[in-house]
Amino acid sequence: MRKILFVLLGLSVWLMAYDATIDIVKKGDKLPKIVVQDATPTGFQDRNLEKKMFKLLIGDLKISANFKVDDSYIKSSYDGDYKENFQSNLQPDLIARYKLEKEDNALIGSIKLINAKNGNLLSQKIYKISNERRYPFLAHKMIIDINNFIGAPSIDWMQRFVVFAKYTGKKRSDIVISDYTLSYQKTIVTGGLNIFPKWANKEQNAFYYSSYNDKFPTLYKVDLIKGKRYKIISSRGMLVCSDVSKDGSKLLLTMAPKDQPDIYLYDLNSKRLQRITKFRGIDVSGNFIDNETRVAFVSDRLGYPNIFAKKLNINSGVEQLVYQGKNNNSFSAYENYIVFSRREGDSEFGKNSFNLYLISTKTEYIRQLTATGKNYFPRFANKGETIMFIKNYKGRSALGIIRLYSNKSFLFPLRVGRIQSLDW
């Protein structure tokens, strides 16, 4: 899918010479100061797109938590002196100067990284996307490359796609692909009730989702490259794909063929369905843990929803993973950490609030991550330092981002509809 979005031009110049006037390594709270200059030519016809691009670049720099950012809007010329139109009081270390151009239906973005102390050109790169609606990914890639150039902690997660289900009406939900800011959105599946999308592989060129439009709930796979949909399996009661193995060959499903939700392992190659849990209550939302030797899941076997784990066979014992709270209804696992949503009842911030907490399975460490509204469906990034989640507050739905190392969070409201579930 990424090949569809980006065509990196052959012209790509990276000037890697050492520059003693800039400390490009993040040390403690010492962050490089940066300003962004818009050098888009005056003949560029889409000023709205130009402003959106500037806003995205500034936002990505802030969310990276690896820069101190001056968000003043500054115009410049792309080939001008580094002091040209310099209006910042930040006394920056770096200047990120970019320009946009159009070529037929394609959008071209060029960006320079300049030493603000002496004007030395540190790096320069040119990007091209075939569809200008995908401009957010161009902005994300620019900032990812600048971030990588200075040797800061990775923010590669910014270029990953988000797939989410969006409620649009009674018994109606679409499947949408977006960037993490929701600036780019493309509806892939529409018509009826379509929920719980899950990426099929790390390349993000296919995903699974549950359709409740047939006689029985049905799991489908959508191939984004071929533009085709394939039926995987159907079941009475309910059917959700909650996790996919690293090699993409096995699925963890929640199924209730006899009105009893349990966790099942489905092998796509052999078509073999293996039951993992057998409990008279509710077992849902299985996730692979411990190098795919065990599964973590939500169960009400204590009389309230909580998080447990067991080996991948029906006769193995069950281990309680979370001992904090008495209504923990959604979670995500990364190595020995678990982030989960806990219902906390009425508080000064509202009724029936759901907050996110982070714990370690090896220590008594616990950290509260949210304080207001209803926060649920947390998902770790592939390297664990970033968490995405759904937030409902005052009747609005938003995609939330938590940067664990910098202790900062950001919200991106969905302007139409409501987010039901997501994956990235």
Instruction: Report pLDDT digits (tens) over 282-295.
Output: 999 999 998 899 99
Which has more confidence, 239 or 333?
239
Looking at residue 102, what is its pLDDT?
93
Question: What pLDDT is stored for residue 5 in this prediction?
Answer: 42
pLDDT for residue 86: 60
Mean pLDDT, rounded, for 275-280: 94
Which class is domain 2-154? Answer: alpha beta
pLDDT at 71 over 80: yes
The dihedral sign for the CA sequence 358, 292, 161, 423: negative
pLDDT in tens, 346-358: 655 456 789 999 9
DSSP helix/strand/coil, 96:
strand
Mean pLDDT (the chain) is 89
Q: Which of 288, 289, 287, 255 is nearest to 274 (CA)?
A: 255
The domain ranges of the chain are 2-154, 157-423
Residues 206/212/218/220 CA torsion (nearest 10 deg): -10
| Percentage of residues in the chain having pLDDT higher than 90 | 74
Crossing angle of helices 135-149/47-64, nearest 10°? Answer: 40
| Phi, psi angle pair for 48, to nearest 5° | -65, -45
Which residue, among 68, 31, 71, 33, has the nearest Cα to 55 in the 3D structure? 71
- C-alpha count within 13 angstroms, C-beta hemisphere, residue 167: 10
Check if the beta carbon of residue 37 is closer than 8 Å to that of residue 100.
no
Residue 15 pLDDT more than 90?
no
CB 82 within 8 A of CB 116: yes
**What share of the chain in percent tops pLDDT 70?**
90
pLDDT, greater one: 82 or 371: 371
User: What average pLDDT score do residues 64-78 get?
Assistant: 93
Fold of 157-423: Neuraminidase (2.120.10)
Q: How does strand 350-360 pair with strand 366-368?
A: antiparallel
Least confident of 88-97, 98-107, 297-306, 379-388: 88-97
The 10s digit of each residue's pLDDT in 144-175 is: 999 999 999 999 999 999 999 999 999 999 99
pTM for this prediction: 0.89
pLDDT-derived band at 104, boundaries 50, 70, 90: confident
Does 206 score more than 90 pLDDT?
Answer: yes
Predicted confidence band of residue 84 (pLDDT cuts 50, 70, 90): low
Model confidence at 397: pLDDT above 50 = yes
DSSP H or E run through 252: strand 250-255
Q: How do residues 235-274 score in pLDDT, each as one tens digit? A: 999 999 999 999 999 999 999 998 889 999 999 999 999 9
Collapse the DSSP code of 171 into the 3-class scheme (helix H, G, I; strand E, B; otherwise coil) and give the result.
coil
